[in-house]
Structure 1
Amino acid sequence: MPPETMPPAQHAPRGQDVIHNIGYRAYDGPRLGRSYARRSLFAQSLRGAYGLGRSAKSKVLPMTLFGVMCVPAAILVAVAVTTKMTKLPIEYTRYALVLQVVIGIYLAAQAPQAVSRDLRFRTVPLYFSRPIERADYVLAKFAAMASALFLLTAAPLLILYVGALLAKLDVATQTTGFVQGLVSVALLSLLFAGIGLVVAALTPRRGFGVAAIIAVLTISYGAVSTIQAISVARDSTGAVAWLGLFSPITLVDGVQTAFLDATSSFPGGHGPGTGVGAVYLAVLLAVVAGSYALLSRRYRKAGL
């Protein structure tokens, strides 16, 4: 259309023009950096391991298992105080081994919750936007799972210790046993957390992760215990200690038998001595370090 035939432009009445500023407001607060993000992820993961900050349904299982771990300790304390026993009915280092099924169920339920959902819903790359990095994510998740397990296993030991003092048992003996028990469950927590997270991180499906963790813990312990019993029956007691290297729970049992003055749960009581115990400790630490390395490698790919 020729310019001279175009209709005149329509202008808005003066005084009604509005300019909208839809830009984002600049942030002038403190820059807290990687350490704050790492601590926040650790705290959030630890709280999540007990259902805190989540729905009431999510709290039922972890809190129930926590109670199941603590109630037997309270009963043992009541019995010791009432009957005026001269020592506790169970050693501090034995308590977690006796209730290993409860610990395994807790790990199987919470390790997938810690990592599988992030993989399933593809939220992992969001964590790796600045400032947090892959190493921070793995460290926070590993530390949170180990801390959750330590709380689960150390709380009943504290109940036993307080009860022993109330029963007026020897303070030095009970303190030594309590410290040995704490060292034992700390090693157990690191080992189980590493194994559980590695298995859970292999699949984004939480159900598969739960089944796989239970299978790893149950099958390895059942196989090792069975073969150890067969070895004792055939008078091959020398092989019993070495067979304990192939199961997480017997690995912890061997370390505490060798270095923490604990009673061995191996068939016939054929636990490792100090020499073989050093191998147990080296293998345990190697598994923990290897689990961390595998998790780091897993999340180098998961973050893409």
Structure 2
Amino acid sequence: MSIDTTRIHNIGYRNYDGPRLGRAYARRSLFSQSLRGAYGLGRSAKSKVLPMILFAVMCVPALIVVAVAVATKMESLPLDYTRYAIFTQAVIGLYLAAQAPQAVSRDLRFKTVPLYFSRPIERVDYVLAKYGAMSSALLILTGAPLIILYIGSLLAKMDFADQTKAFAQGMVSVVLLSLLFGGVGLVMAALTPRRGFGVAAVIATLTISYGAVSTVQAIAWGTGSLGAVKWLGLFSPITLIDGVQTAFLGASSSFPGEAGPGAGPGVVYLLVVLALIVGSYAVLMRRYRKVGL
């Protein structure tokens, strides 16, 4: 005769009675997780390799400049703070191309965005957290070398007031660059759930636009169209930053013949940069209105 072994188990489901931290906590957590992920922290060892290498590559030239300045007792740095990001733009572009898709493409590919929005977090929280994290990651990448240069200049006993002013101008420049590049990179990456396509889109947007603008500027300069040189810089993210810092932050221009924009055209450059930052946010909000359903 068989024995009935049926049992009813009480597995103890209970209502959650702990603190409810709400949207602000969820937004901060998503920001922190995304920022850490931009440098491979909390992920596999393989994920840390590229961002850490690129961070080191960004800092090595600054260390070399500082070593030379201290050893030779220079009175000023051979590389301006505002020129450093322009000098290392290829590294910045590569970092953005690698990390912007990582920040958003996986959520799109595996359709986890609706899961975020099923909790006390809304579309604006997701976009702000991702945008803020990507911009902060870029600011760390571009700001760390400037801090190294500043500390080195003080160790070399250069003029404190001059170096502090130049350092502040450089930091304003990289803040604008980080916001602009972060927005553009996330927009390109959010267009597709395929990470490879996102990488290609970011590289194409930054590299092709800069190459095209630089070529046309050189042609305009060579043919005597000097007035066109300053306006052509409006069509590439890196030349936009170059124009803003040339007009308002006392930087030397990388335009042909150093024909950077003055204060008048510089206002247009600044307005275009701010418009692109706001526009990137608006495009991301529109994009996640659809994928969040």
- Fold conserved between structures, TM > 0.5: yes
Aligned partners of 2:13, 2:214: CA distance in 1, in Å?
Answer: 63
Q: Distance in 1 between matches of 2:22 and 2:205?
A: 38
Which letter maps to 1:262?
Answer: A
Q: In angstroms, what is the RMSD of aligned CA positions?
A: 1.4
The aligned amino acid for 1:271 is: G
Residue of structure 1 equivalent to 2:138: 149
Question: Deviations along 1:186-223, whole A, 9 cap, x unmatched?
Answer: 00000000000000000000011101110111110011
Matches within 5 A, 1:155-304: 155-304=144-293
**Deviation per CA, 1:2-33, whole angstroms, max 9, x where unpaired?**
xxxxxxxx998xxx996532352221110000
5+ residue gaps, structure 2, are none
Alignment of 1:45-194 (within 5 A): 45-194=34-183
User: Kindly, what percent of the aligned residue pairs are identical?
Assistant: 76
Distance 1:285 1:271 in 2: 19
Give the distance between the partners of 1:56 and 1:135, measured in 2 at CA.
32
The one of 9, 26, 47 equivalent to 2:15 is 26
The two structures have a TM-score, normalised by structure 1, of: 0.94
Shift of 1:183: 0.3
Where structure 1 has 5 or more consecutive residues not aligned to the other structure, the ranges are 1-9
**How many angstroms apart in 2 are the aligned matches of 1:179 and 1:125?**
41
Distance in 2 between residues matched to 1:58 and 1:107, nearest whole Å:
14
TM-score (norm 2): 0.97
CA shift digits 1:79-130 (9 cap, x unpaired): 0000011110100000000000000000000000000000001111111012
- CA distance in 1 between counterparts of 2:8 and 2:234 reads 73
Structure 1 position 225, deviation (Å): 0.5
4+ residue segments displaced more than 2 Å: 16-23
How far apart are the structure 1 equivalents of 2:3 and 2:187? Answer: 67
Q: 1:41 aligns with which of 27, 30, 48?
A: 30
1:199 and 1:11 map into 2 onto residues whose CA distance is 65
How many aligned residue pairs are there? 292
> Following the alignment from structure 1 to structure 2, what is the Cα–Cα distance between the partners of residues 44 and 209?
20
Bigger radius of gyration: 1
